[in-house]
Amino acid sequence: MTEQPYDLRKVLEEMKKLPGQYHETDVEIDPDADLAGVYRYIGAGGTVKRPTAEGPTMMFNNVKGFPDSRVLIGLQASRKRVGKILHHDYKTLGQMLNDAVSNPIAPTEVTRAEAPAQEVVHLASDPDFDIRKLLAAPTNTQDDAGPYITMGVVYGHSMDKKQSDVTIHRMVLEDKDTIGMYIMPGGRHIGAFLKEYEEQNKPMPITINIGLDPAITIGATFEPPTTPLGYNELQVAGALRNEPVQVVPGVEVDALGIARSEWIIEAEIMPNQSMQEDINTNSGYAMPEFPGYNGTANPAVNVIKIKAVTHRKDKPIVQTTIGPSEEHVSMAGIPTEASILSLVGRAIPGKVLNVYNAPAGGGKLMTIMQIHKENEADEGIQRQAALLAFSAFKELKTVILVDDDVDIFDWNDVMWTINTRFQADRDIMVLEGMRNHPLDPSELPDYDPARIRVRGMSSKLVLDGTVPYDMRDKFKRAAFKEIADWKKYLD
Q: How far apart are the first and last CA of the chain?
A: 40
Name residues whose C-beta falls within 8 Å of residue 90's C-beta, 6 or more positions apart in sequence: 79, 80, 82, 83, 84
Q: Where are the alpha helices (DSSP H) in 200-357?
A: 214-219, 234-241, 326-347
With beta carbons less than 8 A apart as the criterion, state whether 104 and 238 touch.
Answer: yes
Is the entire prediction scored with pTM above 0.85? yes
Based on C-alpha coordinates, what's the Rg of the chain?
23
CA–CA separation, 201 and 190 (whole Å)? 16
With beta carbons less than 8 A apart as the criterion, state whether 327 and 47 touch.
Answer: no
Length of the chain: 491
- The CATH classification number of 347-472 equals 3.40.1670.10
Q: Which of 210, 145, 134, 142 is nearest to 172 (CA)?
A: 145
CA–CA separation, 183 and 189 (whole Å)? 10
Active site residue: 289, 326, 327, 443, which one? 289
Multiple choice CATH, 6-326, 2.40.50.140, 2.30.110.10, 3.40.50.10470, 3.90.1170.50: 2.30.110.10
Catalytic site includes residue 243: no
- Boundaries of CATH 3.40.1670.10 in the chain? 347-472
387: exposed, middle or buried (Cβ count in 10 Å: 0-12, 13-18, 19+): middle
Q: What is the pLDDT of residue 221?
A: 85
- Residue 246, classed as helix, strand or coil, is strand
CA–CA separation, 226 and 222 (whole Å)? 7
Q: What is the pLDDT of residue 394?
A: 86
Alpha carbon 251 to chain centroid, angstroms: 28
Checking phi first, is residue 373 left (phi over 0); if not, alpha (psi -120 to 50) or beta? beta
Q: What is the pLDDT of residue 224?
A: 64
Longest Cα pair distance anywhere in the chain, in angstroms?
Answer: 77
Residues of the chain with pLDDT under 50: 1
446: exposed, middle or buried (Cβ count in 10 Å: 0-12, 13-18, 19+): exposed
- Boundaries of CATH 2.30.110.10 in the chain? 6-326
- Determine how many CB atoms are found less than 10 A away from the CB of residue 376: 10
**Taking the CA of residue 283 as centre, how many other CA atoms within 13 Å lie in the half-sphere pointing to its CB?**
18
- For 314, phi then psi, to 5°, come to -90, 95
Q: What is the pLDDT of residue 2?
A: 57
Q: What is the pLDDT of residue 456?
A: 85
DSSP annotation of 4 reads: P
Q: What is the pLDDT of residue 1?
A: 46
- The H or E element containing residue 172 is strand 170-175
